[in-house]
Amino acid sequence: MKTGTILSGMRPTGRLHIGHLVGALSNWAALQDEYTCFFMIADWHALMSEYANPEVVKEATPQVAIDFIAAGLDPERSTIFVQSDIAEHLELYMAFSCVTPLGWLERCPTYKEQMRNIKDRDISNYAFLGYPVLQAADILIYKADTVPVGEDQLPHVELTREVARRFNNFYGEIFPEPQGKLTKVPRLPGLDGRKMSKSYGNFISLSDTADDVSRKVMTMFTDPQRQRRGDPGRPDVCNLYSYYEVFAPDEAAAVAQKCRGAEWGCTDCKKRLAEVLSDTLAPIQKRRAELEADPGRIERILSEGAAHAREIAQATMAQVREAIGLKMERR
Ligand code: TRP
Ligand code: SF4
């Protein structure tokens, strides 16, 4: 028995990295038996900021699908699909646009933050303001009640609830008010201690080889006060230590002890972490290679996913049209 319905998604703007793995994908994979799951590649959302480079989105879409499956999302148990394959998302987005006050969008903290921070692309376009309205449509068209996301996305889930409530008030009870579901794993910092992000280039990607991984780990920031091999270190302020807590929790206590007692140097510590990360990535990369060798398979998975998603999306849209009074027959 499934206890609810999940929808979550990611924007295809590049290859996924280990931050996506621990922050989202592993968590999603673990929910597949408990929930009816929809996992979406949000290409329209990617185009809201990458409209000038559509080839980035085109190239990344099948790659993200491969990353999803390689990381454990299972097309036998979950519906994996591409947003733009289901035109009904845009229809519901229009219906929601009618009932969403402009102020909700202008006041959205993610919008204000992105307008401040993104300087290399022009996001002062009409669609970008409506980003969370399309996200609400993504979630509600499947009547999802649970949305596993990072903390940064909670304002969008909140807005989704408000849109659902306002729509239901006008037209009748059609939509649930979904809840966000946060991951237990703390956010993994980037190699340099800042937020892990594609634009900072401070990440290890799911497709990095063992050599890439060890080269990148060697550049990682550690306890800045630990200058010499004989100095005791402070794992609690060390960026690298948090990787042990996430990827090798059963080794973390011993690592902390060897660090505090200066029993090993940061180079030893890095060498071991590189092994841990390569071992974590190995099975994912094996599945990745199999999927890349068979492009027809990904295409089939995505078109079966789309066929299933479309059926549900169309049923919801029929209800929405009926509730608003838009004729279904002339469609
Ligand atoms: N905005 C999400 C992100 O950038 C991606 C996304 C699009 C999404 N539609 C969604 C997430 C619906 C959850 C539910 O991470
Ligand atoms: Fe960090 Fe490891 Fe160096 Fe300690 S030994 S400071 S945990 S890298």
CATH code for position 182? 3.40.50.620
Q: Which residues contact 189 (CB under 8 A, 6 or more apart)?
A: 195, 196, 239, 242
126 residue type, one letter: Y
Say whether both 87 and 178 belong to one domain. yes
Say whether both 281 and 302 belong to one domain. no
* Atom number in ligand 2 closest to CA 270: 8
Say what the pLDDT of residue 161 is.
98
Residues with a CB atom less than 6 Å from ligand 1: 7-11, 42, 45, 135, 138-139, 147, 149, 153
| Tokens 């011993």 belong to residue | 254
The rounded Å distance from CA 223 to ligand 2 centre is 6
Say whether both 106 and 238 belong to one domain. no
Say what the pLDDT of residue 263 is.
95
Distance separating alpha carbons of residues 268 and 283, to the nearest angstrom: 24
180 residue type, one letter: G
Identify whether 95 is part of a domain: yes
The rounded Å distance from CA 157 to ligand 1 centre is 9
Identify whether 255 is part of a domain: yes
Ligand with the closest atom to the CA of 269? 2
Ligand with the closest atom to the CA of 114? 1
Q: What is the CA radius of gyration of the chain?
A: 22
Say whether both 44 and 162 belong to one domain. yes
Say whether both 117 and 256 belong to one domain. no
For 229, the domain range is 210-289
The rounded Å distance from CA 212 to ligand 1 centre is 29
CATH number of the domain within which 235 lies: 1.10.240.10
Say whether both 162 and 251 belong to one domain. no
Ligand with the closest atom to the CA of 44? 1
The rounded Å distance from CA 258 to ligand 2 centre is 9
* Atom number in ligand 1 closest to CA 134: 9
The rounded Å distance from CA 11 to ligand 1 centre is 7
Ligand with the closest atom to the CA of 270? 2
Say whether both 215 and 183 belong to one domain. no
22-41 burial, b if ≥16 CB within 10 A, otherwise e? bbbbebbbebbeebbbbbbb
* Atom number in ligand 1 closest to CA 144: 14
Say whether both 24 and 171 belong to one domain. yes
Identify whether 318 is part of a domain: yes
Identify whether 147 is part of a domain: yes
Identify whether 202 is part of a domain: no
Identify whether 193 is part of a domain: no
Say what the pLDDT of residue 186 is.
67
Domain count, the chain: 2
Contact 2, 35 (CB under 8 A): yes
The rounded Å distance from CA 285 to ligand 2 centre is 28
3-state secondary structure (DSSP) of residue 36: strand
Contact 16, 288 (CB under 8 A): no
| Tokens 């038996």 belong to residue | 33
Say whether both 29 and 163 belong to one domain. yes
pLDDT along the chain (331 residues), means of 10: 96 93 94 98 97 97 97 98 98 98 94 87 92 98 96 94 98 98 83 88 93 96 92 94 94 96 96 97 96 95 98 97 89 75
Identify whether 317 is part of a domain: yes
Say whether both 162 and 249 belong to one domain. no
Say whether both 29 and 73 belong to one domain. yes
| Tokens 């929790």 belong to residue | 249
Identify whether 60 is part of a domain: yes
Residue nearest to atom 2 of ligand 1 (CA): 10
Q: How many residues does the chain have?
A: 331
Say whether both 280 and 312 belong to one domain. no
Q: Which residues contact 55 (CB under 8 A, 6 or more apart)?
A: none
- Angle, to 10 degrees, between the axis of helix 154-171 and the axis of helix 131-140? 70
Distance separating alpha carbons of residues 188 and 25, to the nearest angstrom: 13
